[in-house]
Amino acid sequence: MLKRYLDEAIASLEELIKATVQDIENIKEAKHSTVDESVKKKLSLVREFETTKKALDKELVKVSKENNTTALANVLDDEVKSKLVLMRSKLEELHVKNKEYARHVVVVKEFFDSLNKQIFGQNSNEYSSTNNSNNLYKTRV
């Protein structure tokens, strides 16, 4: 069971990494129509990973109790240990890709905020009583 859970978790992480890399490419190419679908896919993959990770945790606790030990390293075989190491490296890779994705998102947001400020003379996240939303999109004739 441990090996199956590890394989499922690694597969989910690989799909998340692949989806994140694709999102980065989509941002670079300004393919905004894919965002909705990608968010749904990634949320599904995250839920899948979380479910598998919980099952993996329970299985590790079960193995630990069966062997009356807290040192799992002595109980697990080399294949399981290497898969645990691989899962950790995939998590770290996903972390790096998510940071890269976040940088791109911030750049795009800053660009649109500056565009909004140039066009309308205000930031998109400014709230004040002097800005009347009815006048925001009116043009002078």
CATH number at residue 71: 1.20.58
pTM recorded for the entire structure: 0.77
Answer yes or no: is 140 within a domain: no
Separation of alpha carbons 67 and 115, rounded Å = 63
**Would you state the pLDDT for residue 141?**
47
**Would you state the pLDDT for residue 137?**
53
User: Count of residues for the chain?
Assistant: 141
C-alpha pair distances (Å), 7 with each of 21, 56, 88: 21, 10, 12
Answer yes or no: is 132 within a domain: no
**Would you state the pLDDT for residue 109?**
86
The answer to whether 43 and 117 are in contact (CB under 8 A) is no
Which domain does 12 fall in, by range? 2-120
Number of domains in the chain: 1
Answer yes or no: is 136 within a domain: no
Low-confidence ranges of the chain (pLDDT < 70): 70, 122-141
Give, for 95, the enclosing helix (H) or strand (E): helix 78-120
Answer yes or no: is 9 within a domain: yes
